[in-house]
Amino acid sequence: MNNSNELPYTKVVLVKYGEIALRGNNRSAFENRLCGAINKSLGGTSYSVTKEQGRILIQKKEIDDELDYDYVVKRVKLVMGIVGICPAIKTENQDIEHLRELALLYIKQIAPKGEFSFKVESKRSDKRYPIKSNEVSALIGEHIFESMENASVRMKNPDILLKLELRTDAYMYIDTIKGVGGLPYGSTGRGMLLLSGGIDSPVAGFMAAKRGVLINCAYFHSPPYTSERAFIKVQDLAKRLSDFTGGLTFYKVNFTDVQLFLYENVLHKRLTILLKRAMLIISERLAKREYCDCLITGDSLGQVASQTLAAIRAQSSAATLPIIRPLAGMDKIEIINLAEQIETYEISIRPYEDCCTIFVDKHPETQPKQDIIESIERQLWDKGLSDLIDAAVVGAERILV
Amino acid sequence: MKDIVYFDNAASTKPTAEVMGAFNKACNDCYGNPSSAHSAGVKAEAIVNESKNVIASLIDASCDEIVFTSGGTESNNMAIFGIAERYKRSGNHIITTKTEHPSVSAPFKSLEQKGFKVTYLDVCDRGYVNEESLYAAVCDDTILVSIHHVNSEAGTIQKIDKLSESVKSKNRETIFHCDGVQAFGKIPINLKNVDLYSMSGHKIHCVKGIGCLYVKKGIKISPLLYGGSHQGGLRGGTENSMGSAAFGVAAKTAYDRMNESHQKVLEVKNRILEIADGDRILINGDKNNSSPYILSMSFLGKKGEVLLHYLDDKGLYVSTGSACNERKKSDSGLAHFGYSKDRVSSVIRFSFSRFNTPEEADYCISVLKEALEIIV
């Protein structure tokens, strides 16, 4: 139907974004960043993404190239800061007679039988347009009502709400698909995500990013107990996250020596807690290097032994930065659903473990005491733990994804 | 010591210069489609047929009993599905063992789901199929028996002559397939009572992407791939003329040097297996009569995967089992040898080629000893 001779229009997508964070000088920078993120999410070079007076307009660069609504919606849906996505049609000819015909054609395509109630809403951002918005709505509504026998007008909860926006060009649309929402990426501050190859931590990273946190990642690698493929898997997860964030910094920490030291020096039922503390200590040092204000973990309350409140308390004092746990209140199934939506799930279920089962005790302590754990750590600190942690931080490899 | 010691030749081997030469030559001179009518096509077809002749003569078969495939997996699939489809009206029972390569066991699982009755034979602690159990399992309804020649994980060599004879003595209509991927070019093959035999190129220093299936004259199989009258209608698809050229050379060389290679790999294998102490370091399979190309050992108390990564870091490439199994957490075939969990999870498979040296074996031993010290 693209560009039919009588009623020329083009398929486009209008993107609405939250206005909350758009203050003063930030606005333009944010809009540019959003355009960039949308462009990246679409992939390829066939789209044009431009600012259009409080909206972002996505269209095909080539006029004869028809835009695929489903594809664009699917890709753009996960870009942070977008509130709504509207598959729309665009026309340059704003003559009222033309708009009336076009609206009728558009409605007929969607509901050919005409058994529906409807309402037309118009908006002029160009106030020089000769007819007031209400009158435009009325003129169009009248034409549809008169041309389609079974159509009725209803002001409250109509079956079809046809929206018309008169800007440089005119746009019509019916559906608004909900976006991820959230805040512009990076507007809240910076955080260091403890990223593993599991299902949870990438989702936690996504949730934090959605609330405007700029994400850095720390990954703990322990060769020969974990394989190179486990690292590649985590790197792929980071790459996937970077699709939403437009690039991120990734630290590969060699954790083997710390892990072995603790394995040899603590009761195995306490190993997990002390390992997690060591990871937090290392992550915090890397976080400070990247000017981060928080650590982010994929902990979900009570999911495993190390996620009881007692265990979380016994770990948390290892860090002085606040630890954000975006998944705290989510069930595993909710986490999996979100992981599927953001397409990290397929990567996470690859069979390469990032912690060797040797270091996972069958019966870890579920009610560890913070003071006891801390005193064990203090005793080990000068016996070598401190040096090993220093070495892990110094040796961490910084990778840009 | 050179940088890399490659002891994973049962997974894949390095193509030799000779093989690459044949491949390149075919690329340059015979790039036509072997089915084309013009002389470039005829030339390419000649290359394919020449290689078929070479391989056929090596195993005492005739040229039209060889079908080129993409490799071992396709050959096994073609044999199993091809027979099941063709003979499903003659019977509903098929037999295999519990220690087959996934390219055999997965087709059997699939046929089982489609309604075939499947007998999975046990093996003993050295990996051998029991001849009497096999004989007892064969019945009037049995259309297919599929048993590997050399076990890819432990190197056990099945007594294919006896097993196939036993099957035929019970039911001469039953078709006998043998997965010979780890045997072809390495040990002698006798196809007297074998109807189908799978072979692969890249296990004997050929390029990947070429293998073949021996189909005894008179045995009819349904094709897996339809799409033309290539290879007597058994496999649609343009014949891989370059791959076949390379395969012919690789197979010929393997046969010419079979005894010499046998001696070489046996020496390497024997050196390494000396570190077995019968207590913490065990040899899996048949200590005395397994394939000299494969050595499977368990290092009790260690994780095979961790050892593998340690060795990898030292430039030593080994495997924890069959490479095709590694990405799944499924049970290793060695669990069916009746081994303990610890023994199965601590397996390392060393597999050799004629290019390995005793010095490499010594290096391997020293790295292994070091690893056993350091790794928890």
In a domain, A2, yes or no: no
Residue A36 parent element (H or E): helix A26-42
Q: What is the pLDDT of residues B345-370, one digit of tens each?
A: 899 999 999 999 999 999 999 999 99
Question: Same structural domain for residues B242 and B270?
Answer: no
Q: From the CA of B275, how many Å to the nearest CA of chain A?
A: 22
With CB atoms and an 8 Å threshold, state whether A351 touches B303.
no
Whole-model pTM?
0.80
Q: How confident is the model at residue B100 (pLDDT cuts 50, 70, 90)?
A: very high
Question: Same structural domain for residues B215 and B284?
Answer: no
In a domain, B11, yes or no: no
Question: Same structural domain for residues A80 and A203?
Answer: no
On whether any CB of chain B is under 8 Å from the CB of A260, the answer is yes
Query: Within 13 Å of residue B68, how many CA atoms lie on the same side as its CB?
Result: 30
CA B133 to CA A140: how far, in whole Å? Answer: 84
Identify whether the C-beta of residue B150 lies closer than 8 Å to the C-beta of residue B182. yes
Q: Which domain holds residue A95?
A: 10-178
Which of B303, B307, B376 faces A260 most closely, judged by CB atoms? Answer: B376
CA distances from A397 to A249, A334, B117 (A): 10, 33, 55
Percent of chain A with pLDDT over 70: 96
Question: Same structural domain for residues B177 and B267?
Answer: no
At residue A31, the pLDDT reads: 83
Q: Which domain holds residue B300?
A: 258-374
In a domain, A5, yes or no: no
CA B313 to CA B309: how far, in whole Å? Answer: 6
Catalytic residue set of B: 324
Q: From the CA of B170, how many Å to the nearest CA of chain A?
A: 44
The average pLDDT across A17-43 equals 77
Domain end: B228, B255, B282, which one? Answer: B255
* Residue of B302, B375, B376 to mutate when probing chain A, most A C-beta within 10 A: B376
With CB atoms and an 8 Å threshold, state whether B328 touches A358.
no
In a domain, A184, yes or no: no
Q: From the CA of B46, how many Å to the nearest CA of chain A?
A: 44
DSSP string of A365-398, one letter each residue = -SS--HHHHHHHHHHHIIIIIHHHHHHHHHHPEE
In a domain, B305, yes or no: yes
Percent of chain B with pLDDT over 70: 96
On whether any CB of chain B is under 8 Å from the CB of A226, the answer is yes
Chain A residues with CB under 8 Å of B307 CB are: 224
With CB atoms and an 8 Å threshold, state whether B307 touches A351.
no
Average pLDDT, chain A: 90
Chain A residues with CB under 8 Å of B342 CB are: none
Reply yes or no on whether the pLDDT at B376 is more than 90: no
Pick A217 or A29 by higher pLDDT.
A217
Q: From the CA of A329, how many Å to the nearest CA of chain B?
A: 31
Is A193 exposed, middle or buried, given 0-12, 13-18 or 19+ CB atoms closer than 10 A? buried
At residue B325, the pLDDT reads: 46
In a domain, A1, yes or no: no
Average pLDDT, chain B: 94
Residue whose structure tokens are 């704003």:
A94
Question: Same structural domain for residues B51 and B139?
Answer: yes
Q: What DSSP character marks residue B338?
A: T
The average pLDDT across B314-339 equals 74
Chain B residues with CB under 8 Å of A227 CB are: 305, 309
Question: Same structural domain for residues B280 and B363?
Answer: yes
Question: Same structural domain for residues A237 and A319?
Answer: yes
Reply yes or no on whether the pLDDT at B78 is more than 80: yes
Q: From the CA of B106, how many Å to the nearest CA of chain A?
A: 19
Question: Same structural domain for residues A208 and A357?
Answer: yes
Reply yes or no on whether the pLDDT at A6 is more than 60: no
The average pLDDT across A115-137 equals 90
CA B97 to CA B146: how far, in whole Å? Answer: 8
Question: Same structural domain for residues B158 and B92?
Answer: yes
Question: Same structural domain for residues A263 and A338?
Answer: yes
| Number of domains forming the structure of chain B | 2
Q: Which of A178-182, B75-79, B115-119 has the lowest mean pLDDT?
A: A178-182
Q: What is the pLDDT of residues B107-159, one digit of tens each?
A: 999 999 999 999 999 999 999 999 999 999 999 999 999 999 999 999 999 99
Q: Among positive and negative, which fits the CA dihedral B367, B372, B374, B376?
A: positive
In a domain, A183, yes or no: no
Question: Same structural domain for residues B281 and B193?
Answer: no
Identify whether the C-beta of residue B198 lies closer than 8 Å to the C-beta of residue B177. yes
Which of B310, B312, B328 faces A351 most closely, judged by CB atoms? Answer: B328
With CB atoms and an 8 Å threshold, state whether B309 touches A228.
yes
Reply yes or no on whether the pLDDT at B324 is more than 80: no
Reply yes or no on whether the pLDDT at B330 is more than 80: no
Percent of chain B with pLDDT over 90: 91
Domain end: A178, A198, A217, which one? Answer: A178
On whether any CB of chain B is under 8 Å from the CB of A360, the answer is no
At residue A5, the pLDDT reads: 47
Question: Same structural domain for residues A14 and A126?
Answer: yes
Residue A256's closest chain B neighbor by CA? Answer: B375
CA A265 to CA A260: how far, in whole Å? Answer: 9
Residue B143 parent element (H or E): strand B142-148
Q: How confident is the model at residue A4 (pLDDT cuts 50, 70, 90)?
A: very low
Question: Same structural domain for residues A201 and A292?
Answer: yes
The average pLDDT across A247-269 equals 94
In a domain, B74, yes or no: yes
The average pLDDT across B254-265 equals 97
The average pLDDT across A15-21 equals 75
Which of B310, B312, B329 faces A351 most closely, judged by CB atoms? Answer: B329
Pick A374 or A179 by higher pLDDT.
A374
With CB atoms and an 8 Å threshold, state whether B303 touches A358.
yes
Task: CATH number of the domain at A303, please.
Answer: 3.40.50.620
Domain end: A178, A213, A248, which one? Answer: A178
Residue A210 backbone dihedrals phi, psi, to 5 degrees = -65, -35
* Residue of B300, B306, B332 to mutate when probing chain A, most A C-beta within 10 A: B306
Question: Same structural domain for residues A130 and A216?
Answer: no
Task: CATH number of the domain at B112, please.
Answer: 3.40.640.10
At residue A1, the pLDDT reads: 42
Reply yes or no on whether the pLDDT at B248 is more than 80: yes
With CB atoms and an 8 Å threshold, state whether A224 touches B308.
yes
Q: From the CA of A264, how many Å to the nearest CA of chain B?
A: 9
The residues with which B297 forms a beta bridge, in sequence order, are: B283, B348
Question: Same structural domain for residues B59 and B189?
Answer: yes
CA A178 to CA A77: how far, in whole Å? Answer: 7
Chain A residues with CB under 8 Å of B303 CB are: 225, 356-358
At residue A24, the pLDDT reads: 67
Question: Same structural domain for residues A105 and A235?
Answer: no
Which of B310, B312, B376 faces A358 most closely, judged by CB atoms? Answer: B376
Domain end: A128, A158, A178, which one? Answer: A178
In a domain, A53, yes or no: yes
- Burial profile A12-39: b = 16 or more Cβ within 10 angstroms, e = fewer: bbbbebbeebbeeeeeeebbebbbebbb
The average pLDDT across B5-15 equals 97
Question: Same structural domain for residues B208 and B280?
Answer: no
Q: Which residues of B touch A (CB under 8 A)?
A: 303, 305-310, 312-313, 327-329, 375-376
With CB atoms and an 8 Å threshold, state whether A223 touches B313.
yes
On whether any CB of chain B is under 8 Å from the CB of A362, the answer is no
Domain end: B240, B255, B270, which one? Answer: B255
Domain end: B226, B255, B284, which one? Answer: B255
Question: Same structural domain for residues B157 and B294?
Answer: no
With CB atoms and an 8 Å threshold, state whether B309 touches A263.
no
The angle, 0 to 180 degrees and rounded to 10, between the axes of the packed helices A256-265 and A386-395 is 160
The three state secondary structure string of B92-105 is CEEEEECCCCHHHH
First to last CA, chain B: 27
With CB atoms and an 8 Å threshold, state whether A357 touches B303.
yes
CA distances from B200 to B18, B66, B209, B228, B325 (A): 18, 12, 9, 23, 18
Task: CATH number of the domain at A106, please.
Answer: 3.30.2130.30
Question: Same structural domain for residues B176 and B285?
Answer: no
What radius of gyration do chain A's Cα atoms show?
27
Q: What is the pLDDT of residues A321-359, one digit of tens each?
A: 999 999 999 999 999 999 998 899 999 998 887 766 778
Question: Same structural domain for residues B48 and B102?
Answer: yes
* CA proximity to A257, closest of A278, A240, A242: A278
Question: Same structural domain for residues A58 and A109?
Answer: yes
In a domain, B315, yes or no: yes
**Does ipTM surpass 0.85 in this model?**
no
In a 3-state reduction of DSSP, which class is residue A126?
coil
Residue whose structure tokens are 């199993």:
B80
At A108, the amino acid letter reads: K
Task: CATH number of the domain at B274, please.
Answer: 3.90.1150.10
DSSP string of B170-206, one letter each residue = H-TTSEEEEE-TTTTTTS----TT-SEEEEESGGGT-
Question: Same structural domain for residues A125 and A226?
Answer: no
H helices within chain B, ranges in order? 17-29, 39-58, 72-87, 102-113, 131-137, 160-170, 241-256, 258-273, 304-313, 341-345, 358-374
Question: Same structural domain for residues A115 and A164?
Answer: yes
In a domain, B313, yes or no: yes
Residue whose structure tokens are 């608004």:
A176
In a domain, B7, yes or no: no
Residue A38 parent element (H or E): helix A26-42
* CA proximity to A211, closest of A249, A180, A169: A180
In a domain, A334, yes or no: yes
In a domain, B71, yes or no: yes
- Burial profile A70-109: b = 16 or more Cβ within 10 angstroms, e = fewer: eebbebbebbbbbbbbbbbbbbeebeeebbbbbbbbbbee
Question: Same structural domain for residues A224 and A131?
Answer: no
The average pLDDT across A224-228 equals 90
In a domain, B29, yes or no: yes
In a domain, A54, yes or no: yes
| Number of domains forming the structure of chain A | 2
* Residue of A227, A229, A360 to mutate when probing chain B, most B C-beta within 10 A: A227
